[in-house]
Amino acid sequence: MTNPTRQNGSQTTSPTSNPHVSDKPVSNKPSTIELVNKNLAKRYRAEKRFRAYGIASVGFGLLCLCLLFTDIIGKGHSAFLQTYVQLDVHLDSQRLDINDITDVNQLAQADYQGVLKQALRTRFGDVKKRGDKRKLYKLVSNGAGYELRKLLEENPALLGTTQTLWVLVDDDIDTYVKSRGSLSDSPGEDTFTGRLSEKQIGWVESLIGEDKIEKQFNSHFFMVGDSREPELAGIRGAIMGSLYTMLVTLALSFPIGVAAAIYLEKYAKKNALTEFIEVNINNLAAVPSIIYGLLGLAIFINFFELPRSIPLLGGLVLTLMTLPTIIISSRAAIKAVPPSIEEAAMGIGASKMQVILHHILPLAMPGMLTGAILGMAQALGETAPLLMIGMVAFIVDVPGGIADPATVLPVQIFLWSDSPERAFVEKTSAAIMVLLGFLIVMNTLAVWLRKRLERRW
């Protein structure tokens, strides 16, 4: 690096040698100080410009961050509310085809949707044509009947009575109601109507006029798994899938990573094997994540014939992916423990294993945990390798263990973003908000741990 200094030196020697030259009274040649002063303004301008470029770059980065977050929150906040319509539902035992309320089979097969259709027909008595009726039925969600079933299961006495219920609306209506702004005003200019017909809009507006449409907190979103119907889709399945996958990843990658770090820091001699391990770890840290998906597909699925789509498999692949990160940060944490502690323990007769287990490991633990949490955060947001090993399947059930088919949050986001229904846009954004929420919590925890527990020697 002598080159730049030499360059700099040669530039600055010319002005210093010039004064001797300019001592001679040469009238038409400007003095050095004049030359410097003449350029000074220009140089200061360049300085300011350079600084402005720097500020602009930092500003651009921060602006993008703000844009990203406002865009996601702006699109997703409405998904935490869900539109409901108030209907007087007559729980007619004949129409439901239930004569024995204690019979589980009858409860399961009853025609709840029919009762809701009846309620809609009663509410809008003037709708006679078949086509119009079909449009009318589309006001409520296909899944609204499940709520009736739950109601009857909890309270069988309601059979045969008429109840005023809040019923889940269809996703098109939901989007319409959310985009028209405040419910007390008339619909705005840019209201999104989508596939709705004039008549349907008229019905919805009349319901709004009677205060029969309301937006309530969407607890459904957090309680159920995926669905083809946007208003019925929830993220619980994906969250549980992510949880199981992360458990497998943590249970495998943390012990293995810490053990590998201890070996490399405290046992490894400088030989070809150690060198080879280190080269491998450094390279693996930078291998594109999709390559790990190919590995999982070829080795775990094709060779060992593990079933697809299960959190165990996802956890294995993510373990291999996060191991380098955890090993590297654990090594840094072990390195930060001062050798004096090790020497003191050795001096009073502790064995190498005792030194490591009793002294080095407890002292390095906060640093290792920080690294592990950051590695987990990276694994939680990872999508590409999981696409390869079949975690993109459409799975409605909430997984109950590491061997159940499951999907994970980022993959759920990918799946929903591919769906054509407009209502899935807000669901996707809401799922992103949940994912980012988890990541922010994990990163804050890591920073807090580092600040709180890490000792400086």
Partner 1 sequence: MDISTLLAVIAIMIAVAYMFGRGRSMAMADSSQSGYRNLNSLPFYYGMLTALWCAVPCVLIVMGWLLFDDAIIDSLVIAQLPEAVRNLSSDELGLVMNSISNIALGNVIGAEPEPYLLAAAETLISVRHTSQLALTGSVLTVGIALTLFAWSRIRPEQKARVQVEGAFKSILLVCACVAIVTTLGIVFSVIFESLRFFESVPVSEFLFGTHWSPQMSMRADQVGGTGAFGAVPLFVGTLLISAIALVIAVPCGLMAAIYLSEYASTRVRTYVKPMLEILAGVPTVVYGFFAALTVAPFIRDLGATVGLSVSSESALAAGLVMGVMIIPFVSSLSDDVISAVPQSLRDGSLALGSTQSETIKQVVLPAALPGIVGSVLLAASRAIGETMIVVMAAGLAARLTANPLESVTTVTVQIVTLLVGDQEFNSPKTLSAFALGLMLFIVTLVLNYFALYVVKKYREQYD
Binders of partner 1 in range 22-81 (CB under 8 A): 36, 43-44, 46-47, 50-51, 53-58, 60-62, 64-65, 68, 71-72, 75
From the CA atom positions of the chain, what is the Rg in Å? 33
322 is a site residue for partner 1 (CB under 8 A): no
Segment lying near partner 1 (by CB under 8 A), choices 107-115, 134-142, 187-195, 288-296: 288-296
Interactions with partner 1, residue window 325-384 (CB under 8 A): 327, 351-353, 377, 380-384
| Minimum CB distance to partner 1, residue 118 (Å) | 34
259 is a site residue for partner 1 (CB under 8 A): yes
Among residues 216 and 302, whose Cβ is nearest to partner 1? 302
**If binding means CB under 8 A, how many residues of this protein chain bind partner 1?**
93
443 is a site residue for partner 1 (CB under 8 A): yes
260 is a site residue for partner 1 (CB under 8 A): yes
323 is a site residue for partner 1 (CB under 8 A): yes
Among residues 51, 10, 14, the alpha carbon closest in space to that of 32 is found at 14
Among residues 81 and 439, whose Cβ is nearest to partner 1? 439
CB-based contact 166:85 (threshold 8 Å): yes
**Residue 14 CB burial class (10 angstroms; 0-12, 13-18, ≥19):** exposed
Among residues 8 and 206, whose Cβ is nearest to partner 1? 8
CB-based contact 187:173 (threshold 8 Å): no
Considering only 115, 281, 326, 398, the residue that binds partner 1 (CB under 8 A) is: 281
Distance (Å, whole) CA 354 – CA 16: 65
In the beta sheet, which residues pair with residue 162? 90
CB-based contact 309:405 (threshold 8 Å): yes
In the beta sheet, which residues pair with residue 166? 86
217 is a site residue for partner 1 (CB under 8 A): no
Segment lying near partner 1 (by CB under 8 A), choices 11-19, 100-108, 118-126, 225-233: 11-19
292 is a site residue for partner 1 (CB under 8 A): yes
- Give Cα separations from 391 to 20, 238, 313, 384, 404 (angstroms): 79, 10, 9, 10, 11
**Residue 286 CB burial class (10 angstroms; 0-12, 13-18, ≥19):** exposed
Among residues 109 and 282, whose Cβ is nearest to partner 1? 282
- Give Cα separations from 138 to 10, 100, 135, 442 (angstroms): 82, 30, 5, 42
Distance (Å, whole) CA 260 – CA 284: 14
| Minimum CB distance to partner 1, residue 22 (Å) | 17
Interactions with partner 1, residue window 374-433 (CB under 8 A): 377, 380-384, 387-388, 392, 410-411, 413-414, 417, 425, 428-429, 432
Segment lying near partner 1 (by CB under 8 A), choices 1-9, 20-28, 206-214, 233-241: 1-9
